[in-house]
Structure 1
């Protein structure tokens, strides 16, 4: 009598190979987008961050008048909460935007730390340079935030 077990195994391998090769493959998922709930959650963090942008304008006036003590106070005071708020918001962004947002936050606070050091040293030209870098990074971060039309 013939041993049928190897023949059945061979048939099973052939059928499995045929079924796998004829399958439709992966179904491409639509790219991730912001849901209404996610946009509402993001908007909770946007207000304090956008209001901090006004402090940067005040900081520029303090640097221009070489008021170093008040400039350092502004960096450590009202702008001190900015890192936390920006970090919370960056976690709400889409995965492809999170890495860039995190890097911009790091760059911004490196700029602010450099600005603080230049203000302590009373070095106007480097303070202005660090201020401009900070504003550029801050504005780049704001561009990553999705705009929500009609959400109240």
Structure 2
């Protein structure tokens, strides 16, 4: 019986040694980075998004004047184009940033719908607050972009 225990101990020691020797040291992987092509694609869409963001005061003035036709034209024209460009940028972001960017683009769409509904009913307060939220969404989206793509635009 003692002989079987020593033989079993020897097998366990050999097995443990084998398993430890087969393990490899953990290799640190570099964090994901943007390729030159991704930066170029992002930079191609960025100016259109920034132009719309810079026109935020124009939309607020249209809302204050109760110029609902031009409010609807603005949100269905330039704002919709900005959202479309945001959707084109999302696949070029790092995989870790893509879900947040999609969520921000979805929130922008929800705010545009609410502005449209407010314009149809003539609700200045609702349109104004959702317009501010929509431009905040654009700013949030721009904050997700890599710094070297936003600096060159």
Scaled by the length of structure 2, what TM-score is found?
0.81
Which segment is superposed worse, 101-110 or 34-43?
34-43
- Segments of 5+ residues of structure 1 without an aligned counterpart are 1-9
CA distance in 2, matches of 1:34, 1:20: 38
Per-residue Cα deviation, 1:82-106 (whole angstroms, up to 9, x for no partner): 2221111011111111111000000
Cα distance change, pair 21–121 in 1 and its aligned pair in 2 (3 A): same
Q: State the partner residue of 2:17.
A: 18
Q: Does 1:83 align with 2:86?
A: no
Cα distance change, pair 88–19 in 1 and its aligned pair in 2 (3 A): farther
RMSD of aligned Cα (Å): 2.4
Per-residue Cα deviation, 1:18-77 (whole angstroms, up to 9, x for no partner): 343232343121111123332122111111111221343321110121111110111112
CA distance in 1, matches of 2:52, 2:97: 21
Q: State the partner residue of 1:96.
A: 96
Structure 1: which 4+ aligned runs deviate by more than 3 Å?
13-17, 149-152
Aligned length: 143
CA distance in 1, matches of 2:143, 2:25: 37
Structure of greater relative contact order (alpha carbons < 8 Å, 6+ residues apart): 2
